[in-house]
Each structure stands twice: as structure tokens, then as C-alpha cells.
Amino acid sequence: MADGPLLVYGPRSLEYDFGPRHPLSPRRFGPGIELLRAVGAEPGLAPEPAPDAELEWLHAAGYIDAVRRFSAAPWSEPEAGIGPGDDPPFAGMHEAAASVAGGSIRAIEAILRGDAEHAYHPGGGLHHAMRARASGFCIYNDVALAIARARRDGLRVLYVDLDVHHGDGVQALHYSDPGVLTISFHETGRSLFPGTGFPAEMGEGIAAGTSVNVPFEPMTGPEPWLVAIEALVPPLAAAFGPDLVVSQHGADGHVWDPLASLSLSTTAMGRAARLVDRVAHRFAGGRWLATGGGGYSPSRVVPRAWALTWLAGAHRDVPDRLPGKWLRRWEDDAARWDGGPMPDGFEDGPGFPGTSSIGLPAGEQARRTVELVRTVLVPALLGVAGSRGWWRFDAAASPAAIGAAPAAEAPPAGRQTPTLVAPLAPAALDGLILAPRVIPPADPVVAAEILRAALTDGAAAAAAVSGEWIVGVALAAPTPVQGVDRLVALGVAPEWRGRGLATAMLRALVDEETSRGRALAALHTAAERDPMDPLPRAVRRGVAEALARSAGMAIAPAPARISAVDPDSRLAVARSVGAPNDLQARIEAWLAGR
């Protein structure tokens, strides 16, 4: 087998076929697989139907029965989303759809066994299928089922959806599971199917904060799209701590795609795939299943997007030009089905016609959306760590500055009553170990590096120390608002919770700040939680309010733009004597992005 991701493709891939007039055409496999072969990929796993017992992990038994009836008798009355329109019945549709699911499930199993580090299933990515309903060309949700397979082994899964349409089915099927973080980048539901995917859809109950949605206006273009992915995926992954990454790389965001209008380039899609690859290596031990998805320009766009995704997983450079033999073989198809000539290269290059968003409001809107999503869903410490240079996710891990616990090891509980250390100076870290799950990110080695960098940068902190272990941290960082610091982390290791340590640290920090004439502001959002064992959403808010109150902070609703996304968000402020009257207003203006 060739080096590079395990390529999932076989004869059954061609059977998922809604007919000659349907946009999702198996015609894409001809030029698509041939171009993959030209860059060195060879199919290594042929999809076969997943048994009902596996489909039933997420799909209703009655729905599977209905799909089987259509499969045998396609002329049946419309039912469960199957009928004239997006999801027309066809003979053999159960076996065809179950094979797409089987391909993604078997690919995950190959990764779990260690037979493959990465796998790529271009025929997969049917992300709209719901529990008991077909939707948006999708019958069974192969990506959600692949995630479910990993969850059965207890693994935490990061899902990144880059299709131009919102990944609504995957989100819905894992909406209440705190062990699955879904992040979808898509054209806004105000103008495009399926009409969902707004930032307020953030997961429910204990899973609040594990659905992330980044909607874009039409004609956003490649640059703001890629900036959003680069700004959000690494810190969200770092905070969540996945064991495995699953991603969906629909090619329908491309400027030549007939069904949507995000105006992307293949260059941006390839770069996004390379970012997902780096995130998988940095945070998930390299375990990564990539799938295809939408893409309705079957000759001119889909094959290039597939090749770029596979090359990203193969860690290989992109060839300068498309192979001449491939171009000659498919140029007639491009003219006939895609309405235009073939391009020269895999990548579209800068200034590709139709992709410039310079001067359009969509780019500025994207920037504001990213800022809002970051405020509500990225832990404050990781947002600030990025902007102040305390941490770069792509940098090689530096030798642990203050040591750190191996992830599996926890400090021995109850040995020594913790001591409150306030203020915490950088030198005090020497010889201490930061316990897991005190502050983000999930990896305590990286958390320790960030804490060291923060203190060196002048951040104010209080800590709870037991023996050689740091078991609690409260940390404040400067803000652009004059005289105001922000509480960016407040956490206690699991074994030491419920003993009043957080209250004591927060009080000490408030005293320290106000005695220096500074105010301390704290914004509680869905991002501030223990990702390994999160409390229900309303309980988290109650805990945050009680802590702020006991530290003498005044509590108010978060600014309207933030509350609209996260109704449980709260703003708490401790003012110093003589603070200006408009302090609260200035803090709110800053948090709301002005």
C-alpha cells in the first residue's frame, strides 16, 4: 500500500446514485479517483454495508425498515424524507447508503487498531442524515456513525465540518454528548440549506459548549474563511483534548460550485485540510479520519479538492500542475457537465477570479462572527494566550517549564491541606507540578507552559498548593480597558473541589487587584467548564455567580451580543475605590467588540 492516508473506495461507492439528474453524482468518482491515483493514492478499503446493529447506534429501527422498503420498491409513497426532491428513492438504496456508513466505520476501526494513522473516505461525509429522516442527499449519517464507533471505545472525538452547508445531522446526533466537540464552518442558514448552524446552537445540558457554529455570509471568499478556521480550531481542540479527529471536506464552498456562494478556492480548502492534519498530530495522537462531502462540480473542482485533502494527510507537497494525461482524459466531461474548461493546477492561486472579498462587507462580518464565537466558546485563557503570545499551537512543545503531571496521574488527595499562595510569582513555580484539569488546555504540560508565560508577562495570580502540587489557580490578565484586568482562569483539581479553594483564591485575587487600584472583570460563558466532566449548563452559571458574589463582585448579564448567543453568560466586576463611573460601560463595550 502506498504511503499516506488509507483511501476508502470500492465498487459499492458508485452505487450511491440518486439518478442522472441529481446534483450528487457518482460521475465525480471517475476523475476523482483517477486524480488520487495520479498523486500516489491507491484504494485500500472497499466499503461494504454496515449491519443494522451498527446503523441503530444512531438511526431509528423503523427508519432503517423504511429505507429497506424503498430499496426494494422505489415507487412507494414518500416517507421519512425520502421522495421526489433532494432524496429520491432508488433501487438498492439501503445497501448503497449502508455501504457509505460501513466505509467510514471500518476506516475508524483501522485507525483505532493502529493499522492506519489517517484515513480518507471521499464518498463519505453524508452529514445531514438525521435519526429517522433522510435529508440533503444523505440517507445514513456515516460521519456521525464513525464518531459513535470511537465513542463506544470511550474516545473523545473532535469533528470539523468544512462543507458549505451546516453539519446539522452530526451536530444533532451528538448534541447532548460532552465527549464529542463538533465545529462547523458554513454559509449562513439565512441564505442556504439546511437553515441552521447559528452560534447559539452550542449543545445542551452537560454538553453545552460542545457544538460550535461559524456561519459566513455569501461571497466571504477564501481568506476570511481560512482565518476563521485557523483562529478557532486549534484553541478549541486544545481545550477539549480529543483522542481522535473526524473531518468533513465538502468541496461545495468553491466559487465554481453551482449550489452555494461562499466563493472559496481549492487553495484554501487544501490549507484547511493541512491545518486539520496538524491539529490531529498535535492534540489527538495523529488519529484522523477525513471524508468528502458535497461538491457539485464533479470534474473541475471535486477531484482537485479530493487530491489536496489526501496530499495533506500524506504530508506531501502539492504538484505544480495537473497531470496532462488526466486533463486530456476529462476535459470533455468538464465542458459537458461543469460548463467550463479545466484549470491548469491543483490550487487556484491568489486572485483567482470571483474569490476576492476585498471591499465586501462579508469579510468584516466574518471577523466579527469569529470574535463572538471565540468570546463565548473558547476558554478566556486560551484566547488571551494566543493574542499575548503565551502559546502557539504550531510551536514544538518546549521542555516543561515547571514540570507537569502525566495525564493519567492525579495528585494524592487529602494528604496535605492546601496553602493559599497569593500573589503567585513566577519563581514560586519552580519545583511545583500543575495538577491536571485545573486550567485549560486539557494537556497539563501545555497548561503549565501557559501559566509560566502568563506570570512572566506580569499576569496576577493566586494558587492553592498542596505539597509539590498546584491544585488550584486564579489568573488575571490585562485588558485594553484602562485600569481593568480580566479573570482568565479559575479552577481547582477534581479531588480538591468543594472545599472553598476557588472562593479563597478569587477573594485573594480581588484584594490584590483592588489594592493596586485596578478593577477585576470576569465573563462567565459556556467555554468555562471542565471538559472532562462538565456540570449541567445552569449549574455552571450558579457556581460562577456564587463564587463572584462571595468575592464581593457585582454581577450583571453579559452584553447583549454575548447573551444572545449564551443566555447563561454573566459579567462580574470588582471595582477599586475611586474607579470611574463609566467603568462598567467601558468593560461592556470592550467585551461586545465595540
Catalytic residues: 128
Looking at the Cβ atoms of 163 and 277, the one nearer to Zn ion is 277
CA distances to 264, 369, 513 from 216, in Å: 12, 8, 40
Looking at the Cβ atoms of 277 and 512, the one nearer to Zn ion is 277
Q: 498: which residues sit within 8 A by CB, 6+ positions away? A: none
For 268-369, where are the E strands, in sequence order? 288-291
Neighbour count for residue 585 (Cβ, 10 Å) = 10
CA distance 460 to 438: 17
Q: Which stretch binds Zn ion (CB under 5 A): 275-283, 297-305, 357-365, 531-539?
A: 275-283
Looking at the Cβ atoms of 254 and 282, the one nearer to Zn ion is 282
* Residue 377 and residue 209 in contact, taking contact as beta carbons nearer than 8 Å: yes
The reply on whether position 142 binds Zn ion by CB under 5 A is no
Per rule CB under 5 A, count of chain residues that contact Zn ion: 1
For Zn ion, the binding residues in 522-541 under the rule CB under 5 A are none
Q: Which stretch binds Zn ion (CB under 5 A): 277-285, 346-354, 384-392, 482-490?
A: 277-285
CA distance 151 to 149: 5
CA distance 292 to 309: 9
CA distance 104 to 453: 41
- CA dihedral in degrees (396, 401, 405, 406; nearest 10)? 30
CA distance 472 to 331: 63
Looking at the Cβ atoms of 25 and 309, the one nearer to Zn ion is 309
Q: Which stretch binds Zn ion (CB under 5 A): 61-69, 70-78, 199-207, 272-280?
A: 272-280
Q: Smallest distance from the beta carbon of 311 to Zn ion, in angstroms?
A: 11
Q: Smallest distance from the beta carbon of 397 to Zn ion, in angstroms?
A: 17
Q: Smallest distance from the beta carbon of 245 to Zn ion, in angstroms?
A: 10
Q: Smallest distance from the beta carbon of 281 to Zn ion, in angstroms?
A: 5
Q: Smallest distance from the beta carbon of 288 to Zn ion, in angstroms?
A: 6
> Can you say whether residue 195 is alpha, beta or left, with left for phi > 0 and alpha for psi between -120 and 50 degrees?
left
Q: Smallest distance from the beta carbon of 315 to Zn ion, in angstroms?
A: 5
Q: Which stretch binds Zn ion (CB under 5 A): 24-32, 128-136, 274-282, 562-570?
A: 274-282
3-class secondary structure, 398: coil
C-alpha cell at 493: 483539581
For Zn ion, the binding residues in 330-349 under the rule CB under 5 A are none
Looking at the Cβ atoms of 277 and 528, the one nearer to Zn ion is 277
CA distance 258 to 270: 20
* Residue 18 and residue 87 in contact, taking contact as beta carbons nearer than 8 Å: yes
Q: Smallest distance from the beta carbon of 118 to Zn ion, in angstroms?
A: 5
The reply on whether position 277 binds Zn ion by CB under 5 A is yes
Q: Which among 279, 224, 203, 234 is positioned nearest to 525, based on CA atoms?
A: 203
Closest residue to Zn ion, based on beta-carbon distance: 277
The reply on whether position 120 binds Zn ion by CB under 5 A is no
Looking at the Cβ atoms of 160 and 434, the one nearer to Zn ion is 160
* Residue 64 and residue 141 in contact, taking contact as beta carbons nearer than 8 Å: no
Looking at the Cβ atoms of 243 and 331, the one nearer to Zn ion is 243
| Residue type, position 369, single letter | T
What is Dmax (Cα atoms) for the chain? 79
Q: Which stretch binds Zn ion (CB under 5 A): 203-211, 276-284, 363-371, 578-586?
A: 276-284
| Strand pairing report for 460-466 and 419-421 | antiparallel
Interface with Zn ion (CB under 5 A): 277
